[in-house]
């Protein structure tokens, strides 16, 4: 039976070629088309945009773009590791290096580009590389192991990304740029300078205005680079990143129309000069331009698939926005639109903050009403908003510079409602606002992760994520779903934002914070939350006058309130280790004050039924016997539970008890968004149940394993393994960093496990921040913890030593009486609060001794 | 009604049914010779800014709250109708949409400081008491 289907051959299985095939399948091509593709590389399409992560924590498998079974299940023939060597346009055939010959009805060239290597003598020496494929990276990695110095030739986008890679491989890294500044295509002089400073501060040497004339090897080993100004640079390896050139050799050989300087010429339908042949991605030349970003490539794939399938209202390619936002060596850089103000009459507004190391420039039209372009270095948070203002021609506010302030600090913001449905929100994946709204409404999506997964928005460069989030929030609000993350009506900020304001502004009291950033009088939600932030930032005594009214009663009386208004007392028993002498004191105190006594699950003793007026007397006894506050009343570190470990247990491999005590002493009193629990087990049998704790430690033969973000309670969550076989110093360092990072970034009343679930990037990200210090804040986090350790005080000791503070510990301000309403009954030899029924009986028989006021 | 002295704590041994009463110290609240029977309770300084205290006024427990470090004070019953414990003076002060309020420290219901009405359930309310400042002393209008 003759095959009635047409055959489409796609040459090149890179990012764009693969996207085309996905789109063909999505748009129902399989009924009428046989799809065939040639893939020169030894593996199917992968995410080249995130290629550098291969050096961090991604494997080739992680980077793949192909969902499992995509080719098999859809019957797409793919020739992996086979390069097309010839196109025979007369016979409508392609031939490959492995001798495969295929007849096509339509052909798509998606051959991408190759890195340009400048014609310098010695440019092919051993130790020189390019940065484009996984194989390139493997080769670089291998060579880097015997190298100390690495040079990147080219200070553009890719060059800087490559420099970051060399740095992460542990090399002393240099960037050599031919132009007088970095990223000459995207940045103006000031921006280039700011970027240069930032990058040099990170330890990368930048050499601008340098022309390399010679690459010299000695004894078969790379030695140095010679520049035209008689200077030279010693190096062990060189990576060329001096731009890309289209892979147009096949097209040239078969006589398709080419650009003057290369590139396969295409029209609005992405057709080449042969109407049966299309070209898309980085090999295509439209309007005399090559588009070296993935988003325009994806747009071309959309267009080509529409055209091939002859859909009604097929999309056309009319050029693309080359706006970019990137994180280069951890520095945010964005450049968009008419970044050099070439439009006649265009004006520039710029903020150059050399203290913060940021530079932000807006280019506006002559009337100052429309945004034409801009450049952001150091802080590119406003990028998404600015891009939308530009693309949708939305009129600017009167003071456009307000757009450049950090979010929350009075920044003018873009209302999502002012965006038309057709506005392209994610340019990497061409997702419009309308499509996002549709997904939110019809699929009932309420969280960012799901929205990203369903629409692909935000999964490319990530630049549009804040905008996607805003749209989600706006839509949900319209639907009546409460999503704002404001802490309460008094502060229009999330806990994380408030925490930042408080630390940056060195704000030391609630009133000051309220005056500067809030409204009204505060409430039972924001007050304790702010009290906790003040405590974890400055570690002041919580009962100092400005703080006392902020605390939940538990914190303000340093004990846990019970249902009848009395309190329970839990002294700290570090690691659950207690001497018989101290245990006897607990018993004596309980007897003397008639307290109900119970062992908690946290390896300590809880004494219930203490009246306000009794608390100081109880603590006088306890402090005298050497006890400290257990902070069971606070959102703070509770206990570090432990097993006996190697000191007694026949299985133990490390001394878990001693470590638990040390850890508990270190973090005791640490205020946090929610309570913190910990445990240490002496071997893998895990008797202390460390994997259900906010941070848990398990002994190994070689050191300690650190687990984080576990939880028991209502929604149990197993802790995840952060680091293995580390020594104690490293362990403490990681815990310091982890805890302060959590304290700084969590929402109010968010346990570590929930925080972790919401954390974008998950465990990989946490590892980067805590273990690899990717944000460069490790030292600061450790210092904040050290401040806590150095300023720790036992709140109960401080309290009983201050007669003034003790005044508050009476039931009446004007009488010494105890609360007359308390009624107890005896059960199993101890007291407990009477139930209402029991109270009724008792009241009758006792002549309404304890009636409520009325 | 209520007790101004002879406070007692009652302990019942549930197994024996034996009822023990412990008499505690009795303190007489002072009463001014004012016509509406003002009772002087404490000095304003005795109330830390933005907190409450509990006072014994003619045998009743009265919670007195101070707004910020101002002279603005309010008085309500100390009895929390939800938990049925005498704890309101230990609640956190604040406002909801400008309405001054106190939150119960036990289950966190909020009450309007001026009217005593519960903001979360209008059928429930706290007793409110007249309150005034004389020479830096806080006085509560007695209930009889
Ligand atoms: C390190 C790095 C970082 C980048 N970062 C970004 C970024 O942040 N943002 C962004 O937008 N872009 C970025 N890019 C650019 C982006 O990766 C490219 O725009 C995109 O990959 C182009 O897709 P393509 O399919 O046209 O080309 P490619 O992905 O290169 O795919 C072309 C494929 O065709 C194969 N091929 C060529 N000739 C033949 C033949 N004759 N037979 C068979 N197969 C053939 C090639 O081997 C290759 O696998 C980055 C690129 C690199 C290298
Ligand atoms: C989801 C909610 C909660 C769960 C699942 C939970 C669970 C537990 C468990 C299992 C214990 C050990 C009990 C034992 O065996 O003795 C415990 C102890 C304790 N919990 Fe909770 N709890 C929750 C909320 C709270 C809250 C809101 C508070 C206080 C405001 C609190 C205060 C305490 C205290 C003080 C202890 C004693 C532990 C110690 O010795 O420090 N818990 N909790
Ligand atoms: S965890 Fe290991 S060391 Fe600790 S008690 Fe259990 S078996 Fe012993
Ligand atoms: S714009 Fe790059 S991921 Fe959306």
Whether residue A409 sits in one domain with residue A422: no
Local structure of A453: helix, strand or coil: helix
Mean pLDDT value across residues A544-552: 80
Closest to A768 in 3D by CA, of A196, A330, A158, A203: A330
Q: In the predicted model, is pLDDT for residue B14 greater than 70?
A: no
Alpha-carbon distance of A73 to A28, in angstroms, equals 14
Residue A598 CA, ligand 2 centroid: distance in Å? 13
Whether residue A290 sits in one domain with residue A265: yes
Task: Specify the DSSP class assigned to residue A518.
Answer: B
Which B-chain residues 37-66 have CB contacts (< 8 A) with chain A?
Answer: 41-42, 46-51, 53-56, 59-62, 64
B98 reaches A (C-beta below 8 A): yes
Whether residue A652 sits in one domain with residue A774: yes
Token pair in block for residue A401: 């510079």
User: Are B11 and A831 a contacting pair at CB < 8 A?
Assistant: yes
Closest ligand 1 atom to A291 CA:
19
Q: Which residues of A touch B97 (CB under 8 A)?
A: 489
Report which bound ligand comes closest to the CA of A239: 1
Token pair in block for residue A109: 């060239």
Token pair in block for residue A844: 């009758």
Asked if residue A61 is part of any domain, the answer here is: yes
Residue A680 CA, ligand 3 centroid: distance in Å? 10
pLDDT of amino acid A393: 84
What DSSP line would sit under B12-40, residue for residue?
EETTTTEEEEEE----PPP--S-TT-EEE
Kindly give the pairing relationship between strand A676-681 and strand A637-642: parallel
Q: Which are the contacts of B118, defined by CB distance < 8 A and separation ≥ 6?
A: B81, B109, B110, B111, B112, B124, B125, B126
pLDDT band at A420 (very low <50, low <70, confident <90, very high): confident
- ipTM of the complex as predicted: 0.76
Whether residue A181 sits in one domain with residue A72: no
User: Cα distance from A826 to chain B (closest Cα, Å)?
Assistant: 4
Q: In the predicted model, is pLDDT for residue A541 greater than 60?
A: yes
pLDDT of amino acid A413: 54
Closest to B93 in 3D by CA, of B80, B102, B106: B102
Q: Which are the contacts of A623, defined by CB distance < 8 A and separation ≥ 6?
A: A794, A796, A797, A800
Whether residue A80 sits in one domain with residue A172: no
Strands (E), A416-484: 424-426, 431-432
> Searching chain A, which residue's CA lies closest to the CA of residue B42?
A814
Whether residue A656 sits in one domain with residue A701: yes
Q: Which are the contacts of A320, defined by CB distance < 8 A and separation ≥ 6?
A: A291, A293, A295, A296, A299
Q: In the predicted model, is pLDDT for residue B11 greater than 80?
A: no
User: Are B101 and A523 a contacting pair at CB < 8 A?
Assistant: yes
Task: Specify the DSSP class assigned to residue A802.
Answer: -
Closest ligand 2 atom to A603 CA:
40
- Number of structural domains chain A divides into: 6
Asked if residue A732 is part of any domain, the answer here is: yes
Place of tokens 């600017």: A396
Asked if residue B59 is part of any domain, the answer here is: yes
pLDDT of amino acid B13: 41
Predicted TM-score (pTM) above 0.80: no
Average pLDDT of chain A? 89
Kindly give the pairing relationship between strand A106-109 and strand A277-279: parallel
The HSE-up count of residue B110 (CA atoms within 13 Å, CB side) is 16
User: Are B10 and A846 a contacting pair at CB < 8 A?
Assistant: yes
CATH number assigned to the domain comprising residue A678:
3.30.413.10
Whether residue A295 sits in one domain with residue A205: no
Asked if residue B36 is part of any domain, the answer here is: no
In the sheet that holds B137-141, the strands lie side by side as: B38-43, B137-141, B131-134
Whether residue A656 sits in one domain with residue A761: yes
What are A359's strand-pairing partners?
A: A352, A377
User: Cα distance from A673 to chain B (closest Cα, Å)?
Assistant: 18
Comparing CB atoms, the residue among B2, B7, B62 nearest residue A818 is B7
- Residue-wise over A753-791: b if at least 16 C-beta within 10 A, else e? bbbbeebeeeeeebbebbbeeeeebbeebbebbeebeee
| Structural domain boundaries enclosing A718 | 636-793
Q: Which residues of A touch B8 (CB under 8 A)?
A: 820, 846, 849-850
Token pair in block for residue B113: 């400081």
User: Are A851 and B2 a contacting pair at CB < 8 A?
Assistant: yes
Alpha-carbon distance of A540 to A508, in angstroms, equals 9
Mean pLDDT value across residues A415-420: 75
pLDDT of amino acid A230: 87
Please give the C-alpha separations between residue A670 and each of A171, A403, A432, A787, in angstroms, as whole numbers: 39, 38, 46, 11
With vertex at residue B58, the alpha carbon angle to CA B56 and CA B61, rounded to the nearest 5 degrees, is: 35
Lowest mean pLDDT among A162-166, A534-538, B30-34: B30-34
Please give the C-alpha separations between residue A302 and each of A270, A280, A397, in angstroms, as whole numbers: 10, 10, 35
pLDDT band at A303 (very low <50, low <70, confident <90, very high): very high
pLDDT band at A482 (very low <50, low <70, confident <90, very high): low
| Structural domain boundaries enclosing B121 | 42-142
- Number of structural domains chain B divides into: 1
Lowest mean pLDDT among A128-142, A550-564, B102-116: A550-564
Report which bound ligand comes closest to the CA of A632: 2
Q: In the predicted model, is pLDDT for residue A740 greater than 90?
A: yes
pLDDT of amino acid A852: 40
Q: Which are the contacts of B18, defined by CB distance < 8 A and separation ≥ 6?
A: B12
Whether residue A364 sits in one domain with residue A234: no
Which A-chain residues 466-505 have CB contacts (< 8 A) with chain B?
Answer: 489-490
Question: From the CB of residue A82, how many other CB atoms can be counted at a distance below 10 Å?
Answer: 15
Asked if residue B96 is part of any domain, the answer here is: yes
pLDDT digit string, tens, across residues A136-154: 999 999 999 999 999 999 9
pLDDT band at A472 (very low <50, low <70, confident <90, very high): confident
Local structure of A316: helix, strand or coil: coil
- Rounded to whole angstroms, the maximal C-alpha distance in chain A is 112
Mean pLDDT value across residues A56-65: 88
User: Are A850 and B10 a contacting pair at CB < 8 A?
Assistant: yes
Place of tokens 């002294």: A571
Asked if residue A593 is part of any domain, the answer here is: no
Alpha-carbon distance of B4 to A656, in angstroms, equals 56
Whether residue A91 sits in one domain with residue A24: yes
Asked if residue A631 is part of any domain, the answer here is: no
Alpha-carbon distance of A244 to B14, in angstroms, equals 88
Token pair in block for residue A666: 């270190």
Residue B14 CA, ligand 4 centroid: distance in Å? 70
Q: In the predicted model, is pLDDT for residue A384 greater than 70?
A: yes
Kindly give the pairing relationship between strand A6-11 and strand A106-109: parallel
Asked if residue B78 is part of any domain, the answer here is: yes
Contact in structure between A8 and A35 (CB atoms under 8 Å): yes
Q: Given phi > 0 = left and psi -120 to 50 = alpha, else beta, which region is A376? A: beta
Place of tokens 């295929």: A102
Task: Using most ligand atoms within 8 A of CB, pick from A681, A684, A686 the residue to mutate for ligand 3.
Answer: A681
A803: buried, middle or exposed (CB in 10 Å: 19+, 13-18, 0-12)? exposed
A813: buried, middle or exposed (CB in 10 Å: 19+, 13-18, 0-12)? buried
CATH number assigned to the domain comprising residue B120:
2.102.10.10
Alpha-carbon distance of A574 to A641, in angstroms, equals 8
Task: Using most ligand atoms within 8 A of CB, pick from A323, A463, A467, A469 the residue to mutate for ligand 4.
Answer: A463
What DSSP line would sit under A521-583, residue for residue?
S--TTHHHHHHHHHHHHH---TTSHHHHTTS-HHHHTTSEE-TTS-EEE-B--GGG---HHHH
Whether residue A255 sits in one domain with residue A108: yes
Q: In the predicted model, is pLDDT for residue A608 greater than 70?
A: yes
Using the 3D structure, point to which of A187, A220, A242 is the last residue of a domain. Answer: A242
Closest to B7 in 3D by CA, of A844, A822, A832: A822
pLDDT band at A55 (very low <50, low <70, confident <90, very high): confident
Quote the crossing angle between the two packed helices A465-478 and A448-455, to the nearest 10°: 110
CATH number assigned to the domain comprising residue A425:
1.10.10.1100
The finding on whether A51 has its CB within 6 A of some atom of ligand 4 is no
Q: In the predicted model, is pLDDT for residue A409 greater than 70?
A: no
Closest to A492 in 3D by CA, of A475, A478, A513: A513
> Searching chain A, which residue's CA lies closest to the CA of residue B19?
A842
pLDDT band at B3 (very low <50, low <70, confident <90, very high): very low
Q: Which run of H or of E encompasses A504? A: helix A495-504
pLDDT of amino acid A851: 39
Q: In the predicted model, is pLDDT for residue B17 greater than 80?
A: no
Closest to A228 in 3D by CA, of A268, A263, A173, A178: A178
Asked if residue A608 is part of any domain, the answer here is: no
CATH number assigned to the domain comprising residue A144:
3.50.50.60
pLDDT digit string, tens, across residues A327-361: 777 788 888 888 888 889 888 888 888 777 888 89
Alpha-carbon distance of A382 to A368, in angstroms, equals 18
Asked if residue B18 is part of any domain, the answer here is: no
Phi, psi of A836 (to 5 degrees): -60, -40
Asked if residue B107 is part of any domain, the answer here is: yes
User: Are B42 and A850 a contacting pair at CB < 8 A?
Assistant: no
Whether residue A758 sits in one domain with residue A655: yes
A557 reaches B (C-beta below 8 A): yes
Q: In the predicted model, is pLDDT for residue B19 greater than 60?
A: no
B93 reaches A (C-beta below 8 A): yes
Lowest mean pLDDT among A81-85, A545-549, A699-703, A783-787: A545-549
Question: From the CB of residue A794, how many other CB atoms can be counted at a distance below 10 Å?
Answer: 19
Q: Which residues line ligand 1 (CB under 6 A)?
A: A 11-17, 38-41, 48-49, 51-52, 83-84, 110-112, 131-132, 158, 161, 247, 250, 281-282, 292-295, 297, 326, 461
Asked if residue B25 is part of any domain, the answer here is: no
pLDDT band at A392 (very low <50, low <70, confident <90, very high): confident
Q: Which are the contacts of A439, defined by CB distance < 8 A and separation ≥ 6?
A: A445, A451, A454, A455
Local structure of A703: helix, strand or coil: strand
């Amino acid at each position: 039976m003759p095959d009635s289907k047409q055959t489409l051959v796609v040459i090149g299985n890179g990012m764009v070629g693969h996207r085309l095939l996905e789109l063909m399948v999505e748009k129902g091509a399989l009924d009428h088309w046989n799809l065939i593709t040639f893939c020169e590389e030894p593996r199917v399409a992968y995410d080249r945009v995130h290629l550098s992560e291969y050096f961090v924590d991604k494997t080739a498998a992680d980077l793949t773009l192909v969902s499992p079974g995509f080719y098999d299940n859809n019957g797409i023939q793919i020739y992996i590791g086979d390069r097309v060597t010839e196109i025979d346009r007369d016979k409508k055939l392609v031939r490959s290096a492995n001798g495969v010959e295929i007849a096509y009805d339509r052909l798509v060239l998606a051959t991408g580009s190759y890195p340009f290597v400048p014609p310098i003598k010695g440019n092919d020496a051993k130790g020189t590389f390019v940065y484009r494929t996984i194989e390139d990276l493997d080769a670089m990695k291998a060579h880097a192991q015997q190298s100390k110095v690495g040079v990147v030739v080219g200070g553009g986008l890719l060059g800087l990304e490559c420099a970051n890679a060399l740095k992460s491989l542990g090399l002393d890294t240099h960037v050599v740029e031919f132009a007088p500044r970095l990223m000459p295509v995207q940045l103006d002089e000031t921006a280039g300078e700011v970027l240069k400073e930032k990058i040099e501060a990170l330890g990368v040497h930048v050499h601008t205005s340098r022309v390399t004339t010679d690459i010299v090897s000695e004894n078969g080993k790379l030695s140095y680079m010679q520049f035209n100004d008689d200077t030279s640079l010693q190096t062990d390896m060189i990576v060329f990143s001096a731009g890309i050139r289209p892979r147009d050799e096949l097209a040239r050989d078969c006589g398709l129309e080419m650009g003057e300087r290369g590139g396969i010429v295409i029209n609005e339908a992405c057709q080449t000069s042969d109407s049966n042949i299309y070209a898309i991605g980085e090999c295509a030349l439209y309007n005399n331009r090559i588009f070296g970003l993935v988003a325009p490539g994806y747009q071309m794939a959309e267009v080509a698939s529409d055209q091939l399938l002859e859909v009604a209202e097929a999309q056309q390619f009319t050029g693309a926005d080359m706006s970019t936002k990137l994180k280069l060596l951890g520095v945010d850089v964005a450049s968009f639109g008419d970044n050099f103000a070439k439009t006649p009459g265009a004006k520039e507004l710029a903020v150059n903050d050399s203290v913060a190391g940021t530079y932000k420039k807006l280019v506006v039209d002559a009337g100052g009403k429309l945004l034409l372009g801009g450049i952001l270095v150091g802080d590119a948070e406003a990028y998404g908003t600015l891009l939308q203002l530009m693309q949708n021609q939305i009129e600017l506010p009167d003071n456009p510079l307000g757009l450049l302030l950090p979010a929350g600090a009075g920044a003018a913001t873009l209302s999502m409602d002012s965006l038309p449905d057709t506005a392209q929100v994610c340019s990497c994946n061409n997702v419009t606002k309308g499509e996002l709204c549709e997904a939110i409404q019809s699929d009932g999506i309420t969280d960012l992760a799901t929205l990203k997964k369903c629409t692909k928005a935000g999964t490319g460069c990530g630049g549009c994520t804040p905008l996607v989030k805003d749209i989600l929030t706006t839509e949900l609000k319209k639907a009546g779903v409460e999503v704002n993350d404001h802490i309460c009506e008094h502060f229009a900020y999330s806990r994380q934002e408030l925490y930042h304001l408080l630390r940056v502004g060195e704000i030391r009291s609630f009133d000051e914070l309220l005056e500067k950033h809030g409204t009204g009088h505060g409430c039972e939600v924001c007050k304790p939350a702010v009290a906790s932030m003040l405590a974890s930032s400055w570690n002041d005594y919580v009962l100092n006058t400005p703080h006392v009214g902020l605390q939940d009663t538990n914190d303000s009386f340093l004990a846990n309130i019970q249902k009848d208004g009395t309190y329970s007392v839990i002294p700290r028993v570090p690691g659950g280790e207690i001497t018989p002498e101290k245990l006897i004191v607990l018993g004596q105190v309980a007897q003397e004050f008639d307290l109900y006594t119970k062992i908690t699950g946290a390896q300590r003793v809880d004494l219930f039924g203490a009246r306000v007026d009794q608390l100081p007397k109880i603590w006088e006894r306890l402090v005298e016997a050497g006890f400290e506050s257990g902070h069971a009343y606070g959102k703070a570190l509770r206990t570090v539970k432990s097993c006996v470990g190697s000191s007694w247990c026949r299985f133990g491999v490390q001394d878990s008890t001693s470590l638990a005590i040390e850890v508990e002493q270190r973090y005791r009193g640490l205020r946090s968004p929610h309570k913190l629990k910990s445990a240490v087990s002496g071997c893998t049998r895990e008797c202390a149940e460390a994997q259900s704790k906010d941070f848990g430690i398990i002994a190994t033969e070689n050191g300690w394993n650190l687990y984080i973000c576990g939880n028991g309670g209502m929604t149990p969550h197993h802790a995840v393994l952060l680091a293995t076989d580390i020594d104690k110093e490293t362990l403490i360092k990681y815990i310091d960093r982890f805890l302060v990072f959590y304290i700084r970034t969590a929402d109010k009343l968010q346990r570590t496990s929930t925080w972790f679930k919401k954390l974008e990037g998950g465990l990989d990200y946490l590892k980067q921040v805590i273990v690899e210090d990717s944000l460069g804040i490790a030292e600061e986090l450790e210092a904040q913890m050290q401040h806590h350790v150095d300023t720790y005080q036992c709140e109960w000791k401080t309290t009983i030593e201050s007669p003034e503070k003790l005044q508050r510990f009476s039931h009446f301000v004007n009488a010494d009486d105890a609360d007359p309403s308390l009624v107890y009954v005896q059960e199993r030899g101890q007291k407990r609060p009477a139930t209402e029924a029991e109270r009724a009986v008792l009241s009758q028989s006792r002549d309404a001794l304890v009636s409520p006021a009325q | 009604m209520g007790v101004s002295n002879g406070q007692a704590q009652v302990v019942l041994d549930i197994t024996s049914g034996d009822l023990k009463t412990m008499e505690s110290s009795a303190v007489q609240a002072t009463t001014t010779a004012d016509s509406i029977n003002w009772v002087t309770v404490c000095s304003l300084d005795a109330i830390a800014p933005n907190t409450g205290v509990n006072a014994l006024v003619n045998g009743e427990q009265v919670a007195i709250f101070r707004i910020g470090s101002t002279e603005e004070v309010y008085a309500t019953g100390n009895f929390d109708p939800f938990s049925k414990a005498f704890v309101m003076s230990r609640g956190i002060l604040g406002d909801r949409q400008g309405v001054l309020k106190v939150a119960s420290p036990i289950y966190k219901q909020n009450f309007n400081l001026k009217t005593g009405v519960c903001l979360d359930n209008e059928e429930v309310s706290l007793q409110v008491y007249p309150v005034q400042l004389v020479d830096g002393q806080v006085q509560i209008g007695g209930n009889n």
